[in-house]
Amino acid sequence: MDRLSTVSLLFVALAATSCDDDAPVAKSGGSRVDAVAAKAPKVDLEGFCDVHAQASTAKAMVMPELEGTAPPPAVGWRWINVWATWCKPCVEELPMLDGLRAKFTADHLPLELQFLSVDATAEDVAGFRNAHPETPASLRIKDAGTLPQWLGALGLDATSALPIHFFVDGEQKVRCVRMGAVEASHYETVRGMVRAG
């Protein structure tokens, strides 16, 4: 081998070695998909949902009989907030919940928020809304006495305290139930749940 061939061969060997040293070391069993998934924020559904079910095991959402005409099922996810005018934590969270609708739109989140009052009469709700005009429009259960049976049919204790939040997927399955108030900081968990499907 002449001197030029030897130098060329040495240069190629050094270049190849140099490239190997600078290349990132792949971890065994990992992939680029794993790396991207690892950077996504953790969605703590176990800490957020009192009842959490996968789509394959979730109960179908069957609404109670409502006063007036029931709205058509949502195209995407539905967040149903069960509340009453006499429930202090319920009425405290109503303005914050209603304000989240703008975030749904800004985030292109396929989520519809519905309010469901379990007050005894329509007059109770109308009187409350007159005194508190910021209160969002709400559906109302036709007979508040059927609330325990409805909750029981969905697998909840018939005496569950309000507020209750149902998260229903696009297949009309109850994927998450939270009993008790929701805070604005929970929005990230809700968004992650909806996006994960």
pLDDT digits (tens, 9 = 90+) for 118-168: 999 999 999 999 999 999 999 999 999 999 999 999 999 999 999 999 999
Together in a domain, 50 and 17: no
Together in a domain, 88 and 148: yes
pLDDT band for position 27 (cuts 50, 70, 90)? very low
Per-residue pLDDT at 50 exceeds 50: yes
Residue carrying the six token digits 């949902």 = 49
CATH number for 190? 3.40.30.10
As for how many domains the chain has, the answer is 2
| 190: in domain | yes
Together in a domain, 18 and 72: no
Together in a domain, 98 and 8: no
* pLDDT attached to residue 75: 82
Query: For residue 190, how many other CB atoms are within 10 A of its CB?
Result: 24
Together in a domain, 91 and 175: yes
Together in a domain, 11 and 104: no
Calculate the average pLDDT of the chain.
83
| 147: in domain | yes
Together in a domain, 93 and 184: yes
The domain in which residue 99 lies consists of: 45-196
Together in a domain, 56 and 121: yes
Together in a domain, 25 and 69: no
| 40: in domain | no
Query: HEC string of 73-122?
Result: CCCCEEEEEEECCCCHHHHHHHHHHHHCHHHHHHCCCCEEEEEEECCCCH
**pTM, entire model:** 0.77
Query: How far is 164 from 115, CA to CA, in rounded Å?
Result: 10
pLDDT band for position 72 (cuts 50, 70, 90)? confident
pLDDT band for position 68 (cuts 50, 70, 90)? confident
Residue carrying the six token digits 């409350």 = 128
Q: Is the dihedral of CA 105, 106, 108, 113 positive or negative?
A: negative
| 175: in domain | yes
Structure tokens at 191: 């968004």
| 162: in domain | yes
Q: Is-cis flag, bond preceding 41, omega within 30?
A: no
